[in-house]
Structure 1
Amino acid sequence: MEPSTGGTVATARAAEVLLEFGRRTRALGVSEIARSTGLSKAVTHRILTTFVECGLLLYDTATRRYLLGPAAATLGARAIDVSPLRRAAHDALLDLQRVTGETATVSARVPGGRVYLDQVESDQEIKMTVELGRRFDLHSGSSGRIILAFLPEHEQEDVLTQPLTRLTSTTIVEPGVLRDTLREARERGVCRSVGERQEGAGSIAAPVFGADGTIAGSVSVCGPAYRMTPEACTAYEGAAKDAASRISRNLGYPVDVPTTAAAE
């Protein structure tokens, strides 16, 4: 590995500040960002000022807080639009929605979590929709947990040893219980969730692998919990796995290469 230089350190600090806004859903202040990143307030303020000047962030003078700006929105939308995973999943999502009648989604693994890249919404009057481009943790919900299940063990432990946010009354935040669910998900090749990330929602997800056999993301079927019953999830399990396999092949994943699972 090349030794770090002043330029690379400064770039890494700036990137960490900007990524902090992807982890939150509200405006942030200098002190809060400095605590989260471990940077001094002076360094944090200089980075924020630079990002405001180039349009990546906006500064709210009334609250003295910062939020993502129009340039960041443009970059985010462009990143989703050109994503190889999104392109690879397009036709499979259309077919998955037709087969199940529920909303079909694809998520990409990103540092520290995952993001929804695309969805094909259910044509039913009452349906689930997801927020594209927003970062979600891996421990809550089927789309994230199936990704977590197929990460190498040391990366799993990095997640499980951190404080886990309880989003609903049924979010699993106990590391021991999570390890059991991850083991089951690896064995079954799918993960189920009822109300863990969002109250009243149910889903089933399968893993998507890249050309090198590592986990790249996940595909899911989601809908209102009263429709996503255990019986319905069992019925959709094969379709979800088939869609995930199809997307993996589109990404170049060869069937004779073992996946890089946490058990290794």
Structure 2
Amino acid sequence: MAESSITSSGTGTEAAARVADVLLLFTGGPEYLGVSTISRQLGISKAVVYRILQSLVSRDVLATDPGVTGYRLGPAAVALGASALRRFDARSAAAPVLRRLRDETGETTTLSGLVGDERVYLEQFESRAEIKMTVDIGTRFPLHAGSSGKAILAQLPAWRRDAVLSGELSSLTDRTVTDRALLAEQLEAIAADGVAVSLGERQSGAGSVAAALVTPDGEVQGAISVCGPEYRFTPEKIERYRHLVRDATTEIIRNWTNGPSGAHAG
């Protein structure tokens, strides 16, 4: 069947999926995306991509700028994102704990959410040190690199973890582990310990210690981490942070499951 419009090409579900796929491309990569790039990445015709983009622009979900080729997220998308963050219960439950953890460690603390087979930074409380690590809120990262990603991946069901390991395992730094057998061994150890440690695996010169956020029914929601310059992550500090992040995840899950009365937005 020829592709003719957003609503008439295939089923309504397929059309909605295409719109969602287009929008998800804007959560990572360059700020501006053009018709050809989107068409190539999603494997759908330029005509259909163009109609989707025009529909989203008309609703202020996407926007264009004079003199710039391509589309960017518009004010409606920003409003939706802000609303989602406000309503994300884990963020509210985690905020006071992460703020205290930042003060206890002197390092930046973060909250990541699981999105498909990737993770996204949802919140951070920056270190007050002059030299510190900061993260990009809303940017997607693979699960196989870095402590937060590995902490999440280690707690996922075996079938889902195997699916990630069977896919592309790109090297983000020269320390990123891409050997599937070695990575599987590391994940098994992380699952048993409950904590993941990264020294330059996702970002050169960065150290981090993370633990997954797992609800009482076993659903993996994301992870929290303590992160900073690698040279400050000595074996003694790493061991201390391991205990702190374990305790912090327990408190966050307790706040979360207790509902609004147990969590306070930050």
**Cα distance in 1, alignment partners of residues 70 and 179 from structure 2:** 34
Q: Does 1:133 align with 2:134?
A: no
Aligned to 2:6: none
Instruction: Tell me how far 1:211 sits from its aligned partner.
Output: 4.3
Q: Does 1:152 align with 2:185?
A: no
Q: Does 1:165 align with 2:170?
A: yes
Aligned to 1:217: 222
Instruction: Tell me how far 1:10 sits from its aligned partner.
Output: 1.0
TM-score by length of 2: 0.87
Counterpart among 202, 208, 211 of residue 203 in structure 1: 208
Can you list the C-alpha shifts for 1:178-237, whole angstroms capped at 9, x where unaligned? 212111110111000011221111000011112422111111111100001232111211
State whether residues 211 and 251 of structure 1, in contact with CA within 8 Å, keep that contact through their aligned partners in structure 2: no
Aligned to 1:43: 48
Counterpart among 185, 192, 196 of residue 190 in structure 2: 185
Aligned to 1:122: 127
Aligned to 1:76: 81
**Cα distance in 2, alignment partners of residues 213 and 36 from structure 1:** 34
Instruction: Give the partner amino acid of 1:218.
Output: A
**Cα distance in 2, alignment partners of residues 157 and 37 from structure 1:** 24
**Cα distance in 1, alignment partners of residues 161 and 28 from structure 2:** 19
**Cα distance in 1, alignment partners of residues 194 and 73 from structure 2:** 37
Of stretches 10-19 and 26-35 in structure 1, the one that deviates more from structure 2 is 26-35
**Cα distance in 2, alignment partners of residues 28 and 192 from structure 1:** 35
Q: Does 1:240 align with 2:251?
A: no
**Cα distance in 1, alignment partners of residues 146 and 53 from structure 2:** 33
Q: Does 1:66 align with 2:47?
A: no
Aligned to 1:249: 254
Can you list the C-alpha shifts for 1:49-87, whole angstroms capped at 9, x where unaligned? 111222222235655322222221222122112210100
State whether residues 204 and 233 of structure 1, in contact with CA within 8 Å, keep that contact through their aligned partners in structure 2: yes
Distance 1:62 1:159, change over 3 A: farther
Task: Give the SS at the match of 2:129.
Answer: coil
Q: Does 1:106 align with 2:111?
A: yes
Runs of 4+ aligned structure 1 residues displaced above 3 Å come to 59-64
**Cα distance in 2, alignment partners of residues 29 and 123 from structure 1:** 39
**Cα distance in 1, alignment partners of residues 138 and 231 from structure 2:** 27
Instruction: Give the partner amino acid of 2:192.
Output: E
Identity of matched residues, %: 47
Counterpart among 90, 99, 106 of residue 94 in structure 1: 99
Task: Give the SS at the match of 2:232.
Answer: coil
**Cα distance in 1, alignment partners of residues 179 and 72 from structure 2:** 32
Distance 1:63 1:95, change over 3 A: closer
Instruction: Give the partner amino acid of 1:91.
Output: P
Gaps of 5+ in 2: 1-9, 259-266
Distance 1:211 1:178, change over 3 A: same
Instruction: Tell me how far 1:23 sits from its aligned partner.
Output: 3.1
Task: Give the SS at the match of 1:23.
Answer: coil
Gaps of 5+ in 1: 254-264
**Cα distance in 2, alignment partners of residues 154 and 23 from structure 1:** 26
Task: Give the SS at the match of 2:64.
Answer: strand
Instruction: Give the partner amino acid of 2:76.
Output: A
Of stretches 31-40 and 213-222 in structure 1, the one that deviates more from structure 2 is 31-40
